[in-house]
Amino acid sequence: FCSWCRRKVQYGSIFINWVDSRTIYVGHREPPPGTEAYIPQRFPDNRIVSSKYTFWNFVPKNLFEQFRRIANFYFLIIFLVQLIIDTPTSPVTSGLPLLFVITVTAIKQGYEDWLRHKADNAMNQYPVHFIQHGKLVRKQSRKLRVGDIVMVKEDETFPCDLIFLSSSREDGTCFVTTASLDGESSHKTHYAVQDTKAFHNEQEMDALHATIECLLFRSKRLHFVTFIFCRPLGSENLLLRGATLKNTEKIFGVAIYTGMETKMALNYQAKSQKRSAVEKSMNVFLIVYLCILISKALINTVLKYVWQSEPFRDEPWYNQKTEPERKRNLFLRAFTDFLAFMVLFNYIIPVSMYVTVEMQKFLGSYFLTWDEEMFDEDTGEGPLVNTSDLNEELGQIEYVFTDKTGTLTENNMEFVECCIEGHVYVPHVICNGQILHDCTGIDMIDSSPGGSGKREELFFRALCLCHTVQVKDDDSVDGLKKSQLSRRSCIYISSSPDEVALVEGIQRYEGLRTLCVAYKELTAEEYSKVQKLLQNAKLALQDREKKLAEVYEKIERDFILLGATAVEDRLQEKAADTIEALQKAGIKVWVLTGDKMETAAATCYACKLFRRNTQILELTTKKIEEQSLHDVLFDLSKTVLRHKLFLEICRNCSAVLCCRMAPLQKAQIVKLIKLSKEHPITLAIGDGANDVSMILEAHVGIGIIGKEGRQAARNSDYAIPKFKHLKKMLLVHGHFYYVRISELVQYFFYKNVCFIFPQFLYQFFCGFSQQTLYDTAYLTLYNISFTSLPILFYGLMEQHVSADTLKREPSLYRDVAKNALLRWRAFIYWTFLGVFDAVVFFFGAYLLYDNTVVTSNGQMFGNWTFGTLVFTVLVFTVTLKLALDTHYWTWINHFMIWGSLVFYVVFSLLWGGIIWPFLNYQRMYYVFMQMLSSGPAWLGIILLITVSLLPDVLKKVLCRQLWPTATERIQYFKICCFLSSDQPERKNYCVLWEAWYYAGAIKPSAIEHVTCIFDPNKLSYICLEGEGQYRC
């Protein structure tokens, strides 16, 4: 028996190239002697480790992880260079901020890991029952080993991957939900191994001698073939860790995969982190700046040695080197000089940018969760932010992939009508929660008298029998619709929401997904033939699914149609409005659904994705049988997807509907678009577990906190209660986030170019000696205190147009599409503006100071006063530049911007005001005050600030005047209304007028009562409405 078995196994291993195979002795019973040498395989224990660190390796490993990030590594190098060689700035200036960033991150990650440890421990110590020497033993889950026979009770989760041996149910089945695994809340039926399903107690189990061969492909989808008693086992015999036993008192199973080898553990190891387009641009800009930095340092090093080639310059009599300096190797000297220049200019890539960006994202995401309009009163849920890394990506979406059921629709199935033999039956009382007690309640609208009741009976019998609905006496049914009948204790659970509605429909008559019911009579012979075919297919080792499908194909033909049922799933509130807005915003909306085409198309029409005049291009082969339709689509996706033809066609469509999509296919479609030529930013939104794969695949995944569990919401980046909230999320929040962060990034680079470029220029005047222009305190605090808060709060508060306008005018979203504010042109503009400003600061100060006296008492200023003047102009200019860019001045902005400037002045007065003890230099003593006592310094500061800001103001005004963007037009009209709305009743006209004006294409019919005439003398508009006259 056994040898035959082994022969078979060996046979199996000949023709399939197994990646991994294992032999499991059930209950650790070694094979009888005489068989081949028994080599015990070693399997891991059942410990789950999701934590990254242990107590001991936390510090080194975390530091290693952190310094693997290029930015942190860069700052570390700078810091080390400052420590090792003699550099112009103190190591504190870069060490302190770096330490801060590293510590905060380490604390955060440590805390998260501690939470993971806690969760792991809870899981590993969870008690599990298993059989040892014929007795039931309770042990911690982590002690479970491969081969142990485990008992699982109802509502318990499986502690490892098990082969289902027997069940307390008579028929050897059990029901399982995989809600916590893949989120599918439906109950799936699993079957015990035929040979063991009769074993019902511990003793019987203990007596079991069996061997299981597991052959496993380590692909994403586990193909699973096992043998027990020379019987091939399939996934219906396999119970996966993390799934929950339902509706079954208890089961026995044997552990085959434990710990980190379980499918659950294998699956969650491969998660990639999403990065936003802004972050990618930022990294590119960083590299550009790194190149600029290196070239600056190189240029200066080379020039230094060219300049120093004359000995009187290298070492004039007044400035001799020390003996060790003189002896140092030339190349070593040149290298240290290069490093010193790097350190001098390193502020061009500031640590604070990372901190500010993170803070902006983190704090900014609160505005989303706080949004009252996105709070759903019915469910008591507001939006959830699972990651703040992608905030700005919400403003960049080009494709929205949406699930249909539960996302566009309510996922609230209601039985509407049925049609039997061409007669339509509708519920007697139309819904409204009214209950009809039995089938007799059906009112035959179109009943032909004398119609054979047989057909109806057959119809209902088919409905009653052919489903997977289970009757359950408990009311803790998760995920699925709970019956609204409180007085009934029966609740129906099923693997398809359609079916629940149907069963409920038969029970009571409430609320158009259609389902055809057909039948076929089989004779006993035919039945046994069919049965045999099915059995063979089920036993097949290879292509089992395919063979089964072939058999079903053979049987399921020549049906006699009985009738059809119709179930309605209502559209979610404002779904059409949302889709319309998204399309206006230039976002392509694709509906990916598992439903059949007709249902899905009807929904698309209802939610205005398709319009009456939309030309529909169907990429299907029309077949009545759904199975073949599925096949056609599947084949289509297989062949056409590869040929990119599908992509070409779909990209040119205004809307796309993909039907009969398996979860993985949804993800494939998303991936296909994501990786297409233009690399568009995609968003996937869905509510169910079948959407998780696409949610994870898309650039931004949105979960609907819906009926089908929280799986989608948990795996998403953001979760919202209803589909309609997507509109505000993208058009308002996304737009704001994007505008804010792009300005923040550009501004940070700009202000650091302004900051560092004068230092670079100064090297040409100080003999390339790495002398700093600014005092150390200024170098350290520039990014930390003087210029950090205004931009942070700009990044949190800015509203270039009002939220209402953004919502009303979705097309404004196009203005920021495709990373518009971070394109190369914008980046170069900002950089050049920075260089221009830096040149103005430096040479302005140079010309002001050059060989002349700027005080009224004839006394001279030194290099620190020069630097302070440049720095003062710098701080004021960059702050005022931000002020010019700010469109939304709340008291907070005022406080931050003016507060920063005041702080700078106060700090400078204080810093120079006393002789600081414990400081080995007093170079700033009274420098700032002396500078302020000089008239020309004041005049110079005012002049240089004006000159620095002038080009930007000019550019802004000219661009706005000559090539206004849609946003700018809206802004302009906002002012108009602002001015004219001193009388409240006029505001309405303004709004109308604004909409009309902006749209341009919209004919004035919508606002025919308002006429506006431009008044060139007043540079304003006069609007006439009837007798009234308004002026803007």
Find the binding residues for other proteins in span 284-343 (CB under 8 A): 312-313, 316-323
**Which pair of tokens denotes residue 789?**
């808060």
Q: Give CA–CA dist 91/69, Å, rounded.
A: 21
Nearer to other proteins, 27 or 709 (CB): 709
Select from 832, 957, 988, 1031 the one that contacts other proteins (CB under 8 A).
957
Is 386 a binding residue for other proteins by CB under 8 A? The answer is: yes
What SS3 state is found at 161?
Answer: strand
Is 88 a binding residue for other proteins by CB under 8 A? The answer is: yes
Is-contact 485 508, C-beta < 8 A?
yes
**Which pair of tokens denotes residue 41?**
């395989």
Q: Near other proteins by CB under 8 A, which window of 221-229, 297-305, 587-595, 946-954?
A: 946-954
* Cβ-Cβ contacts under 8 Å for 546 (sequence gap 6 or more): none
Q: Give CA–CA dist 185/194, Å, rounded.
A: 27
Is 857 a binding residue for other proteins by CB under 8 A? The answer is: yes
Select from 193, 212, 384, 791 the one that contacts other proteins (CB under 8 A).
384
Q: Near other proteins by CB under 8 A, which window of 5-13, 36-44, 55-63, 924-932?
A: 924-932
329 is in an annotated binding site: no
Is 965 a binding residue for other proteins by CB under 8 A? The answer is: no
Is 272 a binding residue for other proteins by CB under 8 A? The answer is: no
Is 179 a binding residue for other proteins by CB under 8 A? The answer is: yes
Amino acid at 222: L
Q: How far apart, in Å, are the Cα atoms of 554 and each of 562, 600, 630, 985?
A: 20, 28, 17, 73
Is 1031 a binding residue for other proteins by CB under 8 A? The answer is: no
Nearer to other proteins, 157 or 578 (CB): 157
Amino acid at 855: T
Q: Give CA–CA dist 105/385, Å, rounded.
A: 19
Of the candidates 148, 182, 337, 403, the residue annotated as catalytic is: 403
Which helix (H) or strand (E) element contains residue 994?
helix 987-999
Q: How many CA atoms lie within 13 A of 679 on its CB side?
A: 5
CB of 32 to other proteins, least distance (A): 38
CB of 770 to other proteins, least distance (A): 5
Q: Near other proteins by CB under 8 A, which window of 217-225, 409-417, 595-603, 843-851?
A: 843-851
Is-contact 682 698, C-beta < 8 A?
yes
Q: Give CA–CA dist 699/811, Å, rounded.
A: 22
Is 777 a binding residue for other proteins by CB under 8 A? The answer is: no
666 is in an annotated binding site: yes
**Which pair of tokens denotes residue 771?**
């002398």
Nearer to other proteins, 28 or 956 (CB): 956
Per-residue binder mask for other proteins (CB under 8 A), 185-214, x = binder: x-----------------------------
CB of 634 to other proteins, least distance (A): 27
Nearer to other proteins, 268 or 527 (CB): 268
CA geometry: angle at 430 spanning 427 and 433, to 5°? 110
442-481 positions binding other proteins, by CB under 8 A: 476, 478-479
What SS3 state is found at 888?
Answer: coil
Is 922 a binding residue for other proteins by CB under 8 A? The answer is: yes
CB atoms within 10 A of CB 668: 19
Per-residue binder mask for other proteins (CB under 8 A), 735-754, x = binder: -x------------------
Is-contact 748 791, C-beta < 8 A?
yes
Is 370 a binding residue for other proteins by CB under 8 A? The answer is: yes
**Which pair of tokens denotes residue 735?**
């737009």
* Cβ-Cβ contacts under 8 Å for 902 (sequence gap 6 or more): none
Is-contact 903 784, C-beta < 8 A?
no
Amino acid at 978: F
119-138 positions binding other proteins, by CB under 8 A: 119, 122-123, 126
862-891 positions binding other proteins, by CB under 8 A: 862-863, 865-867, 884, 887-891
CB of 411 to other proteins, least distance (A): 14
Is 829 a binding residue for other proteins by CB under 8 A? The answer is: no
427 backbone dihedrals φ, ψ, rounded to 5° = -60, 145
Q: How many residues bind other proteins (CB under 8 A)?
A: 159
61 is in an annotated binding site: no
CA geometry: angle at 633 spanning 632 and 634, to 5°? 90
Q: How far apart, in Å, are the Cα atoms of 114 and each of 269, 273, 336, 418, 1006?
A: 18, 21, 43, 56, 61
Return the CA Rg of the chain: 37
Is 964 a binding residue for other proteins by CB under 8 A? The answer is: yes
- Residue 523 zone, left/alpha/beta (φ > 0; ψ -120 to 50; rest): beta
CB of 81 to other proteins, least distance (A): 16
CB atoms within 10 A of CB 923: 13
691 is in an annotated binding site: yes
Nearer to other proteins, 471 or 958 (CB): 958
837 is in an annotated binding site: no
* Cβ-Cβ contacts under 8 Å for 968 (sequence gap 6 or more): 959, 960
Is 556 a binding residue for other proteins by CB under 8 A? The answer is: no
Is 775 a binding residue for other proteins by CB under 8 A? The answer is: no
Is 850 a binding residue for other proteins by CB under 8 A? The answer is: yes
Select from 7, 69, 280, 546 the one that contacts other proteins (CB under 8 A).
69
Task: With CA atoms as reference, report the closest residue to 44 among 212, 261, 217.
Answer: 261
DSSP 945-993: HHHHHHHHHHHHHHHHHHS--HHHHHHHHHHHHHHHTTSGGGHHHHHHH
433 is in an annotated binding site: no
Nearer to other proteins, 8 or 472 (CB): 472
62-70 LR contacts (CB < 8 Å, sep 24+): 62/106, 62/109, 62/110, 63/102, 63/106, 65/109, 66/102, 66/105, 66/106, 70/283, 70/286
Per-residue binder mask for other proteins (CB under 8 A), 711-740, x = binder: ---xx-x------------------x----
Q: Near other proteins by CB under 8 A, which window of 271-279, 508-516, 805-813, 871-879?
A: 271-279
Per-residue binder mask for other proteins (CB under 8 A), 643-672, x = binder: ------------------------------
595 is in an annotated binding site: yes
Q: Give CA–CA dist 811/807, Å, rounded.
A: 9
Is 105 a binding residue for other proteins by CB under 8 A? The answer is: yes
Q: Give CA–CA dist 864/618, Å, rounded.
A: 75
Select from 378, 486, 1013, 1029 the one that contacts other proteins (CB under 8 A).
1013
Which helix (H) or strand (E) element contains residue 67?
helix 58-68
CB of 388 to other proteins, least distance (A): 5
967-1006 positions binding other proteins, by CB under 8 A: 971-972, 974-975, 978, 997, 1000, 1004
Q: Near other proteins by CB under 8 A, which window of 601-609, 632-640, 658-666, 796-804?
A: 796-804
341-360 positions binding other proteins, by CB under 8 A: 351, 354-355, 357-358
148-167 positions binding other proteins, by CB under 8 A: 155-157
Task: With CA atoms as reference, report the closest residue to 718 among 338, 361, 360.
Answer: 361
Active site residue 403: yes
Is-contact 244 155, C-beta < 8 A?
yes
Select from 766, 828, 902, 910 the one that contacts other proteins (CB under 8 A).
766
594 is in an annotated binding site: yes
Select from 90, 799, 965, 981 the one that contacts other proteins (CB under 8 A).
799
Which helix (H) or strand (E) element contains residue 78?
helix 70-84
405 is in an annotated binding site: yes
Per the annotation, binding residues for Mg(2+) are: 403, 405, 687, 691
Q: What is the set of active-site residues?
A: 403
Per the annotation, binding residues for ATP are: 403-405, 513, 593-595, 660, 666, 690-691
Per the annotation, binding residues are: 403-405, 513, 593-595, 660, 666, 687, 690-691
